[in-house]
Amino acid sequence: DQQVKQNSPSLSVQEGRISILNCDYTNSMFDYFLWYKKYPAEGPTFLISISSIKDKNEDGRFTVFLNKSAKHLSLHIVPSQPGDSAVYFCAASDLRNNDMRFGAGTRLTVKP
Amino acid sequence: DSGVTQTPKHLITATGQRVTLRCSPRSGDLSVYWYQQSLDQGLQFLIQYYNGEERAKGNILERFSAQQFPDLHSELNLSSLELGDSALYFCASSVRVGANVLTFGAGSRLTVL
């Protein structure tokens, strides 16, 4: 079941520019959203999260925006750096239940 | 090092065989999750345990089973293996039942020939 969708398998941006990664979800019961970053040969690592009571959360160069009415969230990375090149997974959770659903991931390449 | 340990890192086996993947959660974490990542696919949730009890089930095949032991480590058993079972299997752990932030292991890569 594709409850969380990342429709762009890949994204390429120039160093210093903004990277925008998008994610859509279908389950209105989701109340907590996360972004994970994955390098090759490693497991995903937590990057940033947002609760459904907020519409924006910022942590340094990373900002997550949530549009509940559109069931859409996005991750902005400004400025993008070559070390940001990785696969980014969007995840959504219903905190009353016990699972977390992930999107298919978007491979970000930041070119020097 | 995330603190979540998965073994083996790589495993090659034949169709019809059975394998066991092992996961030790991060110290203090009571909840263990298993995910499957097939080629170009996202992370598919398989199953979750909390303090030894099954708490949530996702898209886990009947040929697969898991358990969490009293010392909180978990094992994922895959039997009657098929070519399509080739994937990366990730274990993740968290402190509590409701999934908040998960800490992932490096994964076990299973290749079925």
Identity of the residue in B31, B45, B92 whose CB atom sits nearest the CB atom of A101: B45
Q: In the 8-state DSSP scheme, what is residue B61? A: -
> Minimal Cα distance from A34: which residue of B?
B101
Question: Hey, what are A84's tokens?
Answer: 């940001």
Would you place residue B99 in the very low, low, confident or very high pLDDT band (cuts 50, 70, 90)? low
pLDDT tens for each residue of A5-19:
999 999 999 999 999
Question: Any CB–CB contact under 8 A between B107 and chain A?
Answer: yes
**Given this model, what pLDDT does residue B97 score?**
64
Identity of the residue in A4, A34, A41 whose CB atom sits nearest the CB atom of B101: A34
Question: Hey, what are A40's tokens?
Answer: 């090759």
3-state SS class at B85:
helix
Place of tokens 């959770």: A93
3-state SS class at A40:
coil
Q: Is B16 left (phi over 0), alpha (psi -120 to 50) or beta?
A: left
3-state SS class at A14:
strand
**Given this model, what pLDDT does residue A112 score?**
93
Question: Any CB–CB contact under 8 A between A50 and chain B?
Answer: no
Question: Any CB–CB contact under 8 A between A35 and chain B?
Answer: no
Report the C-alpha gap between B33 and A58 in whole angstroms: 28
Cβ within 8 Å of B, A 78-97: 89, 91, 93, 95-97
**Given this model, what pLDDT does residue B58 score?**
87
**Given this model, what pLDDT does residue B40 score?**
66
pLDDT tens for each residue of B41-55:
778 889 999 999 998
Question: Any CB–CB contact under 8 A between A45 and chain B?
Answer: yes
Question: Hey, what are A15's tokens?
Answer: 């160093």
β-pairing verdict for B74-78 and B19-24: antiparallel
Question: Any CB–CB contact under 8 A between B59 and chain A?
Answer: yes
Judged against a pLDDT cut of 80, whether residue B69 lies above it is answered with: yes
3-state SS class at B113:
coil
* Range list of H helices, A1-112: none
Contact A93 B98 (CB under 8 A): yes
Contact B2 A32 (CB under 8 A): no
Place of tokens 């090659």: B12
